[in-house]
Amino acid sequence: MKIFPKIKRTFTFFLMLSLIPSLAIGYEALPGSTWGQLTYDDDNLVGRGAMGYFNQGIDWTILPGGVKFNTFGEVRYRFRSENRPYYNAYGEALGFEFKKSIFHLGADFLWETFPELPERSNKVQYYLTWFYDWDFKSGRSGRFKDYPGSFWGQVTQDVDSLVGTGTMGYLNQGVDWMTLQSGGSIIPFAEIRWRFRSENKDYYNAYSEALGVEYRKSAFHLGINYLWEKFPDLYEYSDKLQVYLIWYTDWDLKPK
């Protein structure tokens, strides 16, 4: 595999992202974010995994109705140790989106590589993403006062024959059980997850329910859950323990 040209291309793309703030003139904000996760699944269908992105964008203007117009560059990756073809992928994207409340509606051009095949897919992708979180406060004295939850999802349409139409997301509800002296919280939770697409579905499409507990501190979530996962196109089930580390942080590089 010609790894050095791929490293060079990704490094060049990161360099381009770092120049975005200095090139932007007459803008509202310079938002960026990074999200990622490391997982270990105690099974022979998924195994060890990593997934994430790094994004830097420009909010150029605010349209009527409070809609923000944004352009961005992004690096994405998705890997696991088992059943890797058509799942493992990484790529760079340039795109635009409209942001309003919890929704992002946009399109990007994605240079995506499937290293196990090996295949490349240079394509246009249309998407809608959303994220909403909450905290149901009980208003009562006692141990359980906060009930944090969140709902994230996306719907995508890739103009290619490798991915096609897809959706992914989760619905989570937890209980803030204990706050430690370090400032972190211990949170038991229940979660529903899904991941589907219309092409090359066998080891990709899955849905599951999970019960677990995690430690949340600043940008990090470290946890363990028991996962009932189904792969509908294989007629396979995987009931297993999963250990994970998740992180998320965002920023605005616009000078104050």
Residue 57: closest CA among 42, 44, 43, 73: 73
- For 42-101, the pLDDT digits (tens) are 998 899 999 999 999 999 999 999 999 999 999 999 999 999 998 999 999 999 999 999
Give me the domains of the chain, ranges plus CATH numbers: 3-252 (2.40.160)
DSSP of 44-75: SSS-EEEEEEEEEEEEEEEETTTEEEEEEEEE
Dihedral angle of Cα 86, 167, 94, 109, to the nearest 10 degrees:
60
For the chain of 256 residues, list the mean pLDDT of each consecutive stretch of 10. Answer: 51 57 74 97 92 96 96 96 92 96 96 89 94 83 80 94 93 94 93 96 94 96 97 92 98 91
Q: Could you give the angle at the alpha carbon of 117 between the alpha carbons of 111 and 120, nearest 5°?
A: 15
**Mean residue pLDDT across the chain:** 89
pLDDT over 90, % of the chain: 73
